[in-house]
């Protein structure tokens, strides 16, 4: 597995990471722990060293899964986790009953980190993200709290998730950021306008989540697909029948290139991301070994400048139908 460095930091990880959320959360009921442990071990065996989780995934179940499964590999892998939600008993992590509560008060951050350290069974968190920007807490206070945790040896690297360019600059001025996590793929290109140029200027890595469009860019979701209420996609505007039908044009674009390259649609979507910048590390999620192998195969695919121009030209003519999130959740992104 090829390695990449996240920005100008000294954090080197596998060129593709593994998003672990779906093992415990958001895409139906939690999966079998033994099966997911075997998948995590298979990922390590195949050279993946970068694993993404968060306290809210479950809540807590995903961190516990990774803590148990990756304990034999301490020192060999990088585990990223996140803080930033108020996990009270009435908390609704998927926002189905309304927007989930944010909490990035410095004391709450420190409490969250203590919990994550125990669940992950580590003495230091490799990469700690603020999960969503909290408009009630100045980002300087958040960065200051993480700075103290780094000085205390409890955290190694600081990151933000779904933050806008101004917030990134303000946080970075207090405690240098190693990575920013944003949704980025061929059907979500909003980071290209301000976030990516800001990261390039500051020497910060980009970790695209949902690099396969929550499964859409694999070409396996039919236009008339229905999603169970336990599946997060059931509330997303981009996954309504009308939007799924309209967005099939992207699948046709990827399919044509995949045929030419003797690859799958998912591999082309990931290879496109890897070709954008050398400091981009996507974290596709999966619960299946064959999909893990397929995603890893994207690292070996070379897209030429002509390929990339063709993709950009064709993609720019396609209008993606449907918002990423319902309005109440969209308000929590890009602050």
Domains with residue ranges and CATH for the chain:
3-330 (3.20.20.100)
Tens digit of pLDDT for each residue in 17-74?
A: 999 999 999 888 999 999 999 999 999 999 999 999 999 999 999 999 999 999 999 9
Task: Look up residue 138 and give its two tokens.
Answer: 């100045």
- Tell me the catalytic residues: 57
Average pLDDT over residues 98-110: 91
pLDDT at residue 88 tops 90: no
pLDDT of residue 94: 74
pLDDT in tens, 110-146: 999 999 999 999 999 999 999 999 999 999 999 999 9
Whole-structure pTM value: 0.96
d(CA 310, CA 20): 32
The band of 304, judged by pLDDT with boundaries at 50, 70 and 90, is: very high
User: Residue 266: which of 292, 287, 295 has the closest Cα?
Assistant: 295
Q: What is the pLDDT of residue 95?
A: 74
Measured between alpha carbons, how far is 226 from 248 in angstroms, rounded to an integer? 16
User: How large a percentage of the chain has pLDDT more than 90?
Assistant: 90
pLDDT computed for residue 167 by the predictor: 98
pLDDT of residue 28: 86
Burial 289-302 (b: 16+ CB within 10 A, else e): eebbebbbbbbebe
Crossing angle of helices 165-174/139-151, nearest 10°?
Answer: 40
- Sheet harboring 18-19: ordered strands across? 18-19, 50-52, 78-83, 125-130, 155-161, 177-183, 205-209
Residue 91 has what pLDDT?
78
Paired residues of 129 in beta bridges:
82, 159
Number of H helices, E strands in the chain: 12, 9
Q: What is the pLDDT of residues 201-251, one digit of tens each?
A: 999 999 999 999 999 999 999 989 999 988 999 999 999 999 999 999 999
């Amino acid at each position: 597995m090829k390695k990449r460095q996240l920005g100008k930091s000294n954090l080197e990880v596998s060129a593709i990471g593994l998003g672990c959320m779906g093992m415990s959360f958001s895409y139906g009921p939690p999966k079998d722990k033994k099966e997911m442990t075997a998948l995590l071990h298979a990922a390590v065996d195949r050279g993946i060293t970068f694993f993404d989780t968060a306290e809210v995934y479950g809540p807590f179940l995903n961190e516990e899964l990774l803590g148990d499964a990756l304990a034999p590999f301490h020192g060999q892998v990088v585990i990223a986790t996140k803080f930033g939600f108020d996990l009270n008993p009435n908390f609704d992590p998927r926002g189905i009953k309304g927007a989930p509560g944010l909490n990035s008060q410095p004391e709450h951050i420190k409490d969250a980190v203590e919990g994550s350290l125990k669940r992950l069974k580590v003495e230091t968190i490799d990469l700690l993200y603020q999960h969503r920007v909290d408009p009630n807490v100045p980002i300087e206070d958040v960065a200051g709290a993480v700075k103290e945790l780094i000085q205390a040896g409890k955290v190694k690297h600081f990151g933000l998730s779904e933050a806008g360019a101004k917030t990134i600059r303000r946080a970075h001025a207090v405690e240098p950021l190693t990575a920013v996590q944003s949704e980025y793929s061929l059907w979500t290109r909003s980071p290209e306008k301000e976030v990516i140029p800001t990261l390039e200027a500051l020497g910060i890595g980009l970790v695209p989540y949902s690099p396969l469009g929550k499964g859409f860019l694999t070409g396996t979701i039919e236009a008339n697909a229905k999603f169970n209420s336990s599946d997060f996609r059931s509330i997303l505007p981009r996954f309504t029948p009308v939007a799924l039908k309209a967005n099939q044009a992207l699948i046709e674009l990827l399919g044509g290139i995949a045929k030419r390259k003797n690859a799958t649609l998912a591999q082309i979507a990931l290879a496109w991301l890897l070709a954008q910048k050398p400091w981009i590390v996507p974290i596709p999620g999966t619960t299946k070994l064959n999909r893990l192998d397929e995603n890893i195969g994207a690292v070996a695919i070379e897209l030429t400048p002509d390929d990339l121009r063709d993709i950009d030209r064709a993609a720019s003519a396609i209008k993606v139908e449907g918002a990423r999130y319902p309005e109440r959740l969209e308000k929590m992104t890009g602050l």
